[in-house]
């Protein structure tokens, strides 16, 4: 199975959700900033252009977990990915595209803009962390719901 978490930048909410999915972050509704900063690609595209899917890791059942930037096209991007796969007659049964933009806030958007586009991490990062801390329980729940859907949890 392949799971794609997508958000505005592909390196913030989606990476946090992927981190929760993979057990790299605690699932107890409390954000651990140090662990978030240690996540691969968090707040850093490592020179790749926006839109590139980033492989974050493999979960307990062997599914690959990726993140993806979609800008403000949260409905269009998954649609075009599915159509693209259809062109090549690839099965989409085990492809999950998960909207990690659902719980985003203006604060996070601004933080991401300052940190990534203007490279002012010293202002951007605290804003991002505050925003993520607020929505963290939502991400935990979202990942739980997905794992139920995937048949991991009962």
Partner 1 sequence: MKIIYNCFGGSHSSVTAAAMHLGQISESRIPTGEQLTQIPYFDTQLAEDHGEFKYMGDDNLGNQIYIVGRRNLGPMFEPMLHGIAKIFGIPSDDYLVINTMPCVNWIMVVGGILSRKLGVISLGRPIVIYGTQQAHGNFVKLVNRIKTTVLPEKEKHQ
Name the site residues for partner 1 (rule: CB under 8 A): 2, 48-53, 64, 66, 68-73, 75-77, 79-81, 83-88, 90
- Residue 8 vs 147, nearer CB to partner 1: 8
- Residue 73 vs 144, nearer CB to partner 1: 73
We find the least distance from the C-beta atom of residue 90 to partner 1, in angstroms, to be 6
We find the least distance from the C-beta atom of residue 52 to partner 1, in angstroms, to be 4
**Cβ distance 42 to 36 under 8 Å?**
yes
We find the least distance from the C-beta atom of residue 125 to partner 1, in angstroms, to be 23
- Residue 64 vs 105, nearer CB to partner 1: 64
- Residue 29 vs 86, nearer CB to partner 1: 86
């Amino acid at each position: 199975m392949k799971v794609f978490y997508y958000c505005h930048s592909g390196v913030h909410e989606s990476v946090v959700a992927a981190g929760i999915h993979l057990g790299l972050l605690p699932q107890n509704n409390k954000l651990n900033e140090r662990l978030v900063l240690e996540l691969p690609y968090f707040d850093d595209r490592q020179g790749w252009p926006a839109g590139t899917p980033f492989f974050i890791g493999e979960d307990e059942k062997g599914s690959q977990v990726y993140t993806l930037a979609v800008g403000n096209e949260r409905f269009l991007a998954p649609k075009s990915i599915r159509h693209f796969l259809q062109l090549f007659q690839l099965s989409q049964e085990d492809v999950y595209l998960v909207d990690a933009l659902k719980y985003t806030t203006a604060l996070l958007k601004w933080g991401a803009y300052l940190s990534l586009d203007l490279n002012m991490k010293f202002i951007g990062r605290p804003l991002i962390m505050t925003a993520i801390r607020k929505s963290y329980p939502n991400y935990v729940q979202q990942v739980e719901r997905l794992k139920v859907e995937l048949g991991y949890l009962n």
